[in-house]
Amino acid sequence: MAQISPKFFLPESFQVARDDIAGQLGLIWELIKAPLIVPLLKVGVYICLVMSLMLFIERLYMGVVIILVKIFWPKPEKRYNWQPIQEDIELGTSNFPVVLVQIPMFNEREVYKISIGAACGLSWPSDRLVIQVLDDSTDPVVKQMVELECQRWASKGVNITYQIRENRTGYKAGALKEGLKRSYVKHCEYVAIFDADFRPEPDYLKRAIPYFIQNPDLALVQARWRFVNSNECLLTRMQEMSLDYHFKVEQEVGSATHAFFGFNGTAGVWRIAAINEAGGWKDRTTVEDMDLAVRASLRGWKFVYLGDLQVKSELPSTFKAFRFQQHRWSCGPANLFRKMVMEIVRNKNVKFWKKVYVIYSFFFVRKIIAHMVTFCFYCVVLPLTILVPEVHVPIWGAVYIPSIITILNSVGTPRSIHLLFYWILFENVMSLHRTKATLIGLLEAGRANEWIVTEKLGDALKNKAEATKNKTNTKTFKRPRFKFLDRIQTLELGFAVFLFICGCYDYVHGKNNYFIYLFLQTLTFTICGFGYIGTIIP
């Protein structure tokens, strides 16, 4: 029997129409590629190469300076003439300054006891310490629990107050500002701030406060964060690598060279007079801590960072919480840069080179360029050059410079060096959200002032693990489970498809073998797109 022709099932008119459409699309692509696509992509390559060089020079500068600081710079206690405060036999504790401790909270069911207990355990004269719990909780059950905990400590003789507001105007900045308005605060010289998941050691104030005594121009003493759940999952390990570089290099360099860095919002002690002179807390951006630090610095105040003074804290262990946090941390600085750049330029209280450092290094390169070049170059421009072979990316820009930057970024966490390659892939995924947030901040678009409190789990997961290990029947915390559809992130999955197509094209037609990177990056985008990065054990 004669073979049936495929045209029996597919009308000839449709076949012709389909071929005609494909031919027309191909013709249109050829017509616009040479005069439009190729020039635009070349411009994109040049811009990305310039940004890469800017970031490379910045990282190289930071690396050289941190080496010099570690070898030649005197320790902070020598630079600032640190001397312990001793209790006087005649004066008693009156030579200890009165310190206010502020703990801002919002529905912190899992960690409120930890933070309040740590603050109440500070080894400072009880008559010279005031603890202020600023509770903006909307859950009445949580509010009652926090208030009862404050009353429990107050019954033990601790000077602790529980403070609430009628609304959450200004979020954290509003709560801190409201707390400083209380009449009893006028007797306090310094204020220590701890977020709800932070647990200072008992000697924290005795190590931090003496820096202020001999240095009247010192406004801020910042401690380093130490992460209690860094080994929980791959997500927390990745965060540890990024934050360790920030604390071990960026903060250290800023403190040693210009006595300026961005306040981390917690685990720091401020001179209250400096806060007032700088204009107090403002809620115009989602980085009220950085805003205050820049304004105080422009008025001549100095900061000191103490890398050996560490405060325990918690990293977000769910991808959803981490994304919200990164949006706030990326959008806020860009928005603050938009609002303050001309104020910094016109300022006459600081030296020219400090202005250059703040505008170019602190804001432009670290808060804007670093996010954009990672996403634009490695997730957009480089894959597109595979589809448009007329555009060439030099090997030094595609491989050598990024490799050196990555090595310099990873020096802060040598124990995780074996995770370096996956960290690169994960940071590329997060650069998508950071770039989006940065643009929102620069343009002051819809989500510029979005504030979503980072979810905290406290010791719940550790208690669960211990209970499982001991095979007890104690009721333990269960990590919140999300429905499958709630996990899906369409942006990540969309870029996974795009990178997969580029990888397949490079495998068939390419010459640079970028498909190896593209397929691995596709896998990482896919894992994050389905929200499972927080469940992978390192």
Q: Which residues are catalytic?
A: 136, 289
**Residues 104/176, Cβ–Cβ less than 8 Å:** yes
Separation of first and last alpha carbons in the chain:
62
3-state SS, one letter per residue, for 365-397: HHHHHHHHHHHHHHHHHHHHHHHCCCCCCCHHH
How many alpha carbons fall within 13 Å on the CB side of residue 86? 4
Other C-beta atoms closer than 10 Å to the C-beta of 361 total: 21
106-110-112 Cα angle (round to 5)? 60
Q: Taking a C-beta distance cutoff of 8 angstroms, is the pair 335, 442 a contact? A: yes
Residue 480 exposed, middle or buried by CB count within 10 Å (0-12, 13-18, 19+): exposed
In the chain, the amino acid numbered 2 is A
Angle at which helices 171-179 and 288-298 pack, to 10 degrees?
A: 60
User: How far apart, in whole angstroms, are the C-alpha atoms of residue 4 and residue 76?
Assistant: 87
How many angstroms separate the CA atoms of 212 and 194, rounded? 19
Angle at 96 between CA 93 and CA 98, to 5 degrees: 110
Tell me the C-alpha distance between 285 and 333, whole Å.
8
The closest alpha carbon to 232, from 314, 177, 159, belongs to: 314
The Cα–Cα gap between 246 and 256 comes to 14
Which 3 state secondary structure label does DSSP give 233? coil
Distance CA 452, CA 440 (A): 16
Say which DSSP state 414 is in.
G
CA distance 229 to 479: 14
- CA-closest candidate to residue 177, choices 69, 72, 292, 79: 292
User: At 305, phi and psi to the nearest 5?
Assistant: -105, 135
Contacts of 256 (CB under 8 A, 6+ apart): 65, 69, 73
Helix axes 420-443, 319-346, angle to 10 degrees: 50
